Amino acid sequence: MDQWSYSISQVTRTKWLILHFLASILGMLNYLQSFILIPLLYKKLFSLTERTLPFHCYSLNVLYTCTENIEQNGLIIAYTIGIDGELTKLSSCDAGGTSTCYLTIDRDQKNLLAVNYWDSTIVTIPLSPQTGEFVGEISSKYDPKQGKGMVAAAKKNGGANHSNNDESTIKQRQADPHSHAVVLDPYCGCIAFVPCLGKDLVREFFYDNVNGKIQQELNYLPSGLCTGHPDGPRYLEFHPKHNIMYVVNELSSTVSQVML
């Protein structure tokens, strides 16, 4: 999951090696991701500000994955990562929608937010802050279609081939809303930004990080320059220092810059 508020590609290889070398010398490799050590080392080596530190420091060595199926609900699986890299299944949970495509953990590591592309639903699932395993079923669900059926058909049922990007294909792909990611704001983690490929916009939701629920849609942003041509926003990322959001548009093959 893309929870780091800076890109690894921006960190020089030398500094990255120094970080691991220091951790090895201290004999604290297993604690590299603790809440005390990692911010101090990153701050020292990379000169990060409090604004650019990640929400959480992945102290549990838990990996979350999801299956993608257009006909059946996705499955979200949590694995523990052993010291040798071996994965051991910890728990799993129904994703509550089809074509599950994006996972995010909230600031307090108490909930996982998941996006289902095909039916566009957004769900939250409670986590154990101590172990990282799922401790319940879906606690909240947002459906921009409000329960209505899909207009477009799946590819196997005569729907569009996504490899094409002609006018007919794009029209089918944008016949329904299609949420593609959910990214929490880097300040307090209570605004969820959701790019919607089907409706050419980025939705803004209030995320109740106390109760772990998507409460309501607050606003929406255009995905591009409003040229009248489809953009199809897919992913987004925040600048680590400036109030800027970058949106990747699949259908127009562009990147939009949004001032926040």
Mean pLDDT of 86-111: 95
Cα of 47 vs its chain's centroid, Å: 26
Q: What is the predicted pLDDT for the residue at 213?
A: 93
In sequence order, the 6+-apart residues with CB closer than 8 A to the CB of 228 are none
Helix or strand holding residue 208 (H, E): strand 201-208
Q: Which of 239, 244, 251, 229 is nearest to 178 (CA)?
A: 251
The more confident residue out of 153 and 16 is: 153
Instruction: Mention every residue, 6+ apart, whose C-beta is less than 8 A from residue 108.
Output: 56, 129, 189, 209
DSSP 3-state of 30: helix
Residue 141 has pLDDT above 60, yes or no: yes
Q: Does domain 104-259 match CATH 1.10.10.10?
A: no
- Cα dihedral sign, 160-116-69-67: positive
pTM beyond 0.85: no
Structural domain boundaries in the chain: 8-52, 104-259
Smallest Cα–Cα separation from 2: which of 114, 105, 95? 105
- Please give the pLDDT value at position 170: 80
Q: What is the pLDDT of residues 156-205, one digit of tens each?
A: 767 777 777 778 888 888 888 899 999 999 988 999 999 999 999 999 99
- What was the pLDDT predicted at 244? 93
The reported pLDDT for the residue numbered 58 is 58
* Residue 18: pLDDT band with limits 50, 70, 90: low
